[in-house]
């Protein structure tokens, strides 16, 4: 085994043990996949796949899943459970993402990454709801955020949303764009349109 490979494997171990800097895992795992024989790399499939889901990099996660030997996939229950999360994210089956994460008893190295995936996914969904809805039912918001209705109301109100108890709906607070920001965005769009016009000539 080369010194470079040993160093990469040490990096993975350090990241997992420290439970920080998970965003460095995809690049390290990608290099290991290139350096190690397939049989030797199998022990990193869990970490690699989880790290891609953590980044919401669903395209690379799907390609990785296709590269994993079928026999290994069928024999590894935890790997299958990881991919259930990935499939749910890909299908935008929001509630299923949280259900899949809670349904499996994760091994010690994988558990903190799964926790980070869910935390990041919940933050992402909160931003999506804030931009996509003027009002949303408490039940739908809770399903998208993977929390109970009462917790959804509490957290959304704390974030500045408005709760209507009569209709049991939540109204996200829209981001206020200042006149200066709006002018800057308009100028950028005009410049983009002009460049496109020149390129078409």
pLDDT exceeds cutoff 60 at 1: no
pLDDT exceeds cutoff 50 at 199: no
Average pLDDT score, the chain: 86
Q: pLDDT tens-digit profile of 62-88?
A: 999 999 999 999 999 999 999 999 999
Question: For position 14, what pLDDT does the model report?
Answer: 72
pLDDT: is 199 or 190 the higher one? 190
Task: Of 31, 32, 15, give the one whose Cα is nearest residue 23.
Answer: 15
Q: pLDDT tens-digit profile of 138-148?
A: 999 999 999 99
Residue 33: Cβ-neighbour burial (10 angstroms; 0-12, 13-18, 19+)? middle
| Percent of the chain scoring above 70 in pLDDT | 82
pLDDT exceeds cutoff 70 at 200: no
Q: In the predicted model, what is the mean pLDDT of residues 172-177? A: 69
pLDDT exceeds cutoff 50 at 110: yes
Secondary structure (H, E, C), the chain: CCHHHHHHHHHHHHHHHHCCCHHHHHHHHHHHHHHCCHHHHHHHHHHHHHHHHHCCCHHHHHHHHHHCCHHHHHHCHHHHHHHHHHHHHHCCCHHHHHHHHHHCCCCCCCHHHHHHHHHHHHHHHHHHHHHHCCCEEHHHHHHHHCCCHHHHHHHHHHCCCEEECCCCEEECCCCCCCHHHHHHHHHHHHHHHHHHHHHHC
Question: For position 181, what pLDDT does the model report?
Answer: 53
CB 176 within 8 A of CB 194: no
pLDDT exceeds cutoff 60 at 51: yes
CA 8 to chain centre: 24
């Amino acid at each position: 085994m080369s010194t470079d490979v040993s160093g990469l494997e040490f990096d993975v171990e350090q990241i997992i043990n420290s439970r920080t800097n998970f965003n460095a895992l995809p690049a390290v795992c990608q290099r290991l996949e290139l350096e190690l024989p397939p049989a030797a790399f199998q022990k990193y499939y869990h970490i690699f796949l989880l790290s891609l889901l953590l980044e919401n990099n669903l395209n690379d996660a799907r390609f990785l899943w296709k590269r994993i030997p079928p026999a290994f996939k069928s024999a590894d229950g935890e790997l299958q459970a990881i991919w259930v999360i990935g499939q749910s994210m890909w299908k935008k089956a929001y509630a299923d993402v949280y259900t899949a994460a809670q349904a499996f008893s994760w091994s010690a190295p994988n558990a903190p990454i799964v926790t980070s995936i869910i935390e990041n996914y919940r933050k992402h969904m909160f931003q999506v709801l804030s931009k996509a809805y003027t009002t949303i039912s408490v039940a739908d918001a809770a399903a998208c955020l993977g929390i109970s209705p009462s917790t959804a109301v509490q957290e959304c109100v704390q974030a500045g949303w408005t709760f209507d108890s009569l209709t049991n709906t939540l109204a996200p607070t829209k981001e206020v764009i200042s006149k200066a920001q709006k002018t800057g965005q308009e100028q950028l769009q005009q410049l983009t349109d002009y460049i496109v016009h020149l390129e078409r000539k």
